[in-house]
Structure 1
């Protein structure tokens, strides 16, 4: 299946490091990434790691450039894996892995997980088994500085997509020792287009194909050459031959000086010794002078390159990923005028990452402008996420991104204006709660469910929202819901079902237990949040601790207790008692299914939508909600501490967040 690269989505849901390469090959580049472990490795772990890396290419030399070893016991066991490019000879492979081993031991000391790249090889180690595991957590790419001519972009990347698909199929069908393919094709304006793909051979055919597709989708458009490299696979294309016999080895062997022969005759030994000494001195002096000149040249080059790369990186880290969305970019002056210079009168709300303003474009269209704080590191990631994700999504129950502005320190997101603010303004406000009768609330419930289903299954991208809550549900003029705030969202590759993070982000009270305690998130994490939201809509109460009938409990515990006692209607907002009893009871039932502690028992959003739309479908019996054992009869601070110990920065999309709505995000790999 051919692809046009300029139409493929790419995104920054984890750090992707951009380096610009010149038109000529740079065979000795290197990069490494050290995982941010919660605790440093033990001395035994480091000893096992040193032993393993020093013996990697000696104990398991299979001649195919793929090495996999483990060493140690229990908590101090170390797993390592080395992979050389398929066109590199064994000696260059061993040299590269030894260099990479030295790099990781020097740069990632005391870390439990790391990956390092040289041009010819990849080396990684971890405290958990990595054999047969497709890893997309640590990825970077390099780009040629030159662009494809504007009139040839589509044809160029159609040819590249066709070539990529052919190579991907060849590599994926390789055996357990090598999954590697190279090839070339004709391209407009250029004589030949060359490409290389490779997977770690321990991956299955499908995993290799998925991994390469994932990397291909990350590569920015319009460049005449580039590469994307990850721990499990890599892809590169150029308009010159960079692989095989024409490729420069990683490191040339240094000149060898032969020692004087010991079988010379006595009569000529002195003269030949003198001559030999002169030759050796001349060679050594030549080498020394050459090395000095090389060092001076390298220092000058690196100084200039460092300055240029610093400027380039700063620009590209904010712009390159979104350059395909230029049609959505607004000038800062346009937005400044449209918001009356961001006046207080136009301010809709204040959050931890900035403020939201009402604005009007020159064509009269009303918009909501999210102005991210200039000093917020979290805002950088949120900005990239929302631009790169929301711009690709089109659904009536998702807030629509109209454009963005990136000028200097200003980062603005321009959304469609949703006049009725967020759901929490209504269901938690005693004076406004009556505005939403049961029909209106049921319509909101079904709309949010359809929006989540689109994110999880029906869009081109599989997206986990990770911060679904009442303040992130906006209501339009007809009170139809629109899910907003994708700053914490995560994108999954095809067939990926769950992910793990070492840093918890989200909102207290809405987080699934497996995510809050272990950092494991999936579509079922959003289902849990939806279940909490559903109970809040039905009850008009926040999922926080309150006193009721001599019980101190949260909304989930209250709903579960009444469900078991046969008094579930006690959960319903008194203002909704005139609504359909069967629909109210069904919604409470569905909510309890969504918040079950065992994520495998929670329904998918597809099943939830069916349940909401079918009165005849019988529902399974729910099991105990998550966290119930910690909340009921326990001390409030003790129950909350394990979830909230890393959470800060209260925020909301259109309004100041309530006290239990705590959200953060940070620059950290998946």
Structure 2
């Protein structure tokens, strides 16, 4: 009877709570409460300001990335709670909570009660003392979903998501002091190989309270999130998220096989959570021994099953392909880790009409890319390595390592590879409209780039970098972001390509140093070009150059009306300091939002500052691009700055090989995959 009363109380709490529903493509959700308002320069605002300084520090310094606090006395007391995602690092946590305070006060202007939910953190403050409420509930409930539906039957997909969320919730509530867990579930239906999930409660919840809170919002999933490719649910004290790609950092803490019902006809399945976790101690030693024996037996059985499955998979894969004569081919097979298809050479020869000139899409220093059509009519792009290029072989090996582990809508998808004798090729999805560079610097194509398209491309690239730097299972630094490596699909949405130079930062490191500088002149940050310092900030620098190119449609170096050499970064900064920024905007843009253009140029200048510490991280960049109320700091003088009275940019080029007169040249010195000479440990 007590359980029934508790379930009824929980359901009543859910029904009485305000429920907000938004698309994932929309802005991050926020809720403005109705508990009153405060006036400018009031005591309440002053108390809120004190919390906005102390709480980000306290949350980021906590091992659980969680903090609560209060400042003042009634009636001007402010209570606040901040929770960062369990897989983020301290600096990103502090930045997220700081931004959340700023946004909450702008989006819920003068409201005493506000909540903001971001990918990496959530914040709630109020004049009502909600902090003792650790039964898992709050007074706001938000759902977010993707407008795109899965191709699998919705009922089957929803049931699989329910199984994954409940299992991950069990793990988070009983096995983690952070009350945080990630999970992966094989699905193998409707073109969906797997589903990924993340759940979290505030760490001050008891295990049973955490599980109960998650159970309530998981139970409501089919009603609000049915069939969507992505879904999130937020309560103040607990939340979850699921995607079709691994959006969290590191390997999943929990892995599930294909659910039994995934291959069967759709039928309703109860996704209610199981009974609350029993956290009481064992009553006697005999029961404890029986449980230990059961665990050991289950562990041994699961290990045997895993070994058998692994052996069978290896045997099947080995039978499918012919023995290779070259050792590099074996390295590719190991690097793919079963996440890529293995194509044979005749299939790709037929798809590309034997690599005919008519199917050639482009050619670079390490090989040629061809368009192909597979037997199932799927269009692909095949990168064929030049047989004389050892550097190219290393790059392609690196690209397989990186892309085999990445899945994101803003990244070009690797479908598979072929390694046959001396032939090594990668097979990608075909991206219809080719590279951004052709649109920027081809007069005919350039007319298609109106401002809305350009702004969408800028934001899309930023979100792709955010996935690489913060949300992917491994931290990736691309190292060669440029207009040639941004591809545009049929809807002109950007996809980041060419990961041959990408560097993987493992073990929580955020910086490395290499003796082998590799990249493209014109986009390389000074600390990387000169000293070989590798960090996410070198991608930020390249992105800043990209922004300025997209807005101005100018190359790094060009000639003005007086045949003087003009450096793009210097010219934009000079115009910005003289309040003449709009003069630098592409003249073919007849209609555009002046505020958006000026903001993009401002953000671009922030990204190309000489000191990497002055450049924003990618999370802040995305916020600045999508939140026009976020205040921007004035930029410092950019790297590689030359005043207009300089004799020539080329005069400076003689003193270093990193100046921008070689924007189409790729530098490569004895490239080795992930050769690291020094690491600076930093918690992720």
| Contact in 1 for aligned 2:476/2:505 (Cα 8 Å) | yes
Query: How far did residue 545 of structure 1 move?
Result: 4.1
Task: Check if 1:337 corresponds to 2:383.
Answer: no
5 Å-filtered alignment, 1:443-462, equals: 443-462=456-475
* Structure 2: distance between partners of 1:317 and 1:476: 33
* Structure 2: distance between partners of 1:639 and 1:646: 7
5 Å-filtered alignment, 1:475-554, equals: 475-547=488-560, 552-554=565-567
Deviations for 1:590-641, whole angstroms, at most 9, x for unmatched residues? 0000000111010011111001101111100000000114996144444224
Instruction: Say which of 386, 390, 394 aligns to 2:403.
Output: 390
Q: Give RMSD over aligned pairs.
A: 3.1
* Structure 2: distance between partners of 1:642 and 1:356: 36
CA gap 1:641/1:362 in 2 versus in 1, 3 angstroms: farther
* Structure 1: distance between partners of 2:482 and 2:340: 31
Query: How far did residue 520 of structure 1 move?
Result: 0.5
* Structure 1: distance between partners of 2:617 and 2:303: 51
Residue of structure 1 in register with 2:631 after alignment: 618
Q: Secondary structure at the match of 1:558?
A: helix
| Contact in 2 for aligned 1:468/1:529 (Cα 8 Å) | yes
Larger Rg: 1
Q: Secondary structure at the match of 1:355?
A: strand
| Contact in 2 for aligned 1:552/1:633 (Cα 8 Å) | no
CA gap 1:611/1:326 in 2 versus in 1, 3 angstroms: closer
Query: How far did residue 550 of structure 1 move?
Result: 7.3
Task: Check if 1:427 corresponds to 2:440.
Answer: yes
Deviations for 1:90-128, whole angstroms, at most 9, x for unmatched residues? xxxxxxxxxxxxxxxxxxxxxxxxxxxxxxxxxxxxxxx
Deviations for 1:114-166, whole angstroms, at most 9, x for unmatched residues? xxxxxxxxxxxxxxxxxxxxxxxxxxxxxxxxxxxxxxxx99xxxxxxxxxxx
Task: Check if 1:362 corresponds to 2:353.
Answer: no
Query: How far did residue 647 of structure 1 move?
Result: 12
Instruction: Say which of 472, 477, 482 aligns to 1:469.
Output: 482
Residue of structure 1 in register with 2:334 after alignment: 321
Task: Check if 1:413 corresponds to 2:426.
Answer: yes
| Contact in 1 for aligned 2:372/2:381 (Cα 8 Å) | yes
Query: How far did residue 313 of structure 1 move?
Result: 8.9
Deviations for 1:183-210, whole angstroms, at most 9, x for unmatched residues? xx99869999xxxxxxxxxxxxxxxxxx
Query: How far did residue 471 of structure 1 move?
Result: 0.5
Q: Secondary structure at the match of 2:443?
A: coil
Instruction: Say which of 636, 661, 668 aligns to 1:664.
Output: 668
* Structure 1: distance between partners of 2:541 and 2:563: 27
Residue of structure 2 in register with 1:586 after alignment: 599
Task: Check if 1:565 corresponds to 2:569.
Answer: no
* Structure 2: distance between partners of 1:403 and 1:630: 49
CA gap 1:645/1:592 in 2 versus in 1, 3 angstroms: closer
* Structure 2: distance between partners of 1:566 and 1:366: 48
Q: Secondary structure at the match of 2:376?
A: coil
Q: TM-score, normalised by structure 1?
A: 0.51
* Structure 1: distance between partners of 2:454 and 2:659: 33
CA gap 1:188/1:332 in 2 versus in 1, 3 angstroms: farther
Q: Which runs of 5+ in 1 are unaligned?
A: 1-153, 156-184, 193-220, 224-310, 649-657
| Contact in 2 for aligned 1:631/1:639 (Cα 8 Å) | no
5 Å-filtered alignment, 1:115-130, equals: none
Residue of structure 1 in register with 2:587 after alignment: 574
| Contact in 2 for aligned 1:445/1:534 (Cα 8 Å) | yes
| Contact in 2 for aligned 1:367/1:414 (Cα 8 Å) | yes
CA gap 1:328/1:592 in 2 versus in 1, 3 angstroms: same
* Structure 2: distance between partners of 1:422 and 1:339: 20
| Contact in 1 for aligned 2:412/2:496 (Cα 8 Å) | yes
Q: Which runs of 5+ in 2 are unaligned?
A: 1-255, 258-295, 312-323, 677-684
| Contact in 2 for aligned 1:371/1:412 (Cα 8 Å) | yes
CA gap 1:423/1:315 in 2 versus in 1, 3 angstroms: closer
| Contact in 1 for aligned 2:551/2:597 (Cα 8 Å) | yes
Query: How far did residue 317 of structure 1 move?
Result: 5.9
Aligned residue-pair number = 365
CA gap 1:456/1:190 in 2 versus in 1, 3 angstroms: closer
| Contact in 1 for aligned 2:339/2:404 (Cα 8 Å) | no
* Structure 2: distance between partners of 1:526 and 1:634: 30
* Structure 1: distance between partners of 2:327 and 2:470: 35
Q: Which runs of 4+ in 1 moved over 2 A?
A: 185-192, 311-327, 545-553, 629-632, 634-648, 658-670
Query: How far did residue 666 of structure 1 move?
Result: 3.4
Q: Which structure would you say has the larger RCO, counting Cα contacts within 8 Å and 6 or more residues apart? A: 1
* Structure 1: distance between partners of 2:642 and 2:660: 22
